[in-house]
Amino acid sequence: MNYKNLPKNGKNIVKPPWLKVKAPGSPEYLQTKSTVKHLNLVTVCEEAHCPNIGECWSHHTATFMIMGENCTRRCHFCSVKDGTVENLEPLDPLEPHRVGLAVSRLSLKHAVVTSVDRDDVHDNGASHFAQTVRAIRAHAPDCKVELLIPDLRGNEKDLKTIVSAGIEVLNHNVETVPRLYKKVRPGAGYIRSLSILRWAKETNPNMMTKSGIMVGLGEKKEEVFALMDDLRAVGVDIMTIGQYLRPTAKQLPVRDFITPEEFKEYETVGKEKGFKFIESGPLVRSSYHAWKHTVEKPHDSQKSSLAIAG
């Protein structure tokens, strides 16, 4: 079957066998779900229809989304609800505390926190991120923290507020190649995203920086290689590459299903270009195996990570 140049309308597309996943339902999955619900936290796992929800939640790994369920951007790949004057709510001052409790109750050694875009908030949510980091430190002092942040509208001051909170990894996804930005991320800018990553590394050279993209949106292999060079030029240490999967009929259709062999090629090339870690595979997402990137010997850690989101 041909998995390239798929119909532009996205109809009658059959996923290849390497994208099939088991239905969730393990005891660990149910425990994570219960903790999330009890603490009234929102997860990107559910909001973005992540294919790894069964695997991750079974390992006490969930991606939580802070600052509400509604986003002020209109990215054409994302199923998170649109934020409007009618449905945007003030930030919940108790949310950082609940996140800290979740990290503690799940005995996590690596927590990842992300958010929706909140362009309506005066500091783009930077202080809320910082408060969440401090809450995790208070409830789980030995837990390493990774943040997956929006572009903060290119505000370097807000970025420094986040980085100064003290984190192990700063992640900001460029999402796709520059040529597709207007189509995929009309409210964002490629250079702006690169600037966020560059400023983060300049602010704290000892902190690891990370970025990721989706493939299968019509990008060319050479464009991905060039993007890798751009990320390395601003000091990015970790890169994730995963297959774009259309969340609902409202989002952009998949143009190509990238084969496992092609993902392996991206991984090989990424390592050659100098990334410390590169996760490349059909089901890879931003927080996939995130805990492995901050331990010297991954097998020494028996606790999975909680990605608090995305």
pLDDT score of 299: 37
pLDDT score of 28: 76
In Å, what is the CA distance from 302 to each residue of 200, 292, 309? 30, 11, 22
pLDDT score of 42: 76
pLDDT score of 147: 94
Asked which of 48-52, 111-115, 279-283 is least confident by mean pLDDT, the reply is 48-52
Give the pLDDT mean for 36-62.
Answer: 74
Most confident of 1-10, 74-83, 178-187, 196-205: 196-205
Most confident of 47-61, 263-277, 291-305: 263-277
Give the pLDDT mean for 259-274.
Answer: 97
pLDDT score of 155: 96
pLDDT of 300 above 60? no
**Percent above pLDDT 70 for the chain:** 89
pLDDT of 102 above 60? yes
pLDDT score of 302: 41
Which domains can be identified in the chain, with CATH numbers? 27-308 (3.20.20.70)
pLDDT of 153 above 70? yes
Asked which of 28-37, 101-110, 286-295, 300-309 is least confident by mean pLDDT, the reply is 300-309
Q: Quick: pLDDT tens for 237-261.
A: 999 999 998 888 888 899 999 999 9
pLDDT score of 93: 96
Give the pLDDT mean for 134-138.
Answer: 96
Q: Is the pTM of this model over 0.85?
A: yes
Give the pLDDT mean for 133-143.
Answer: 94
pLDDT of 307 above 70? no
Average pLDDT, the chain: 87
Confidence of residue 228 (pLDDT cuts 50, 70, 90): very high
pLDDT of 99 above 60? yes
Confidence of residue 63 (pLDDT cuts 50, 70, 90): confident
Sequence letter at residue 17: P
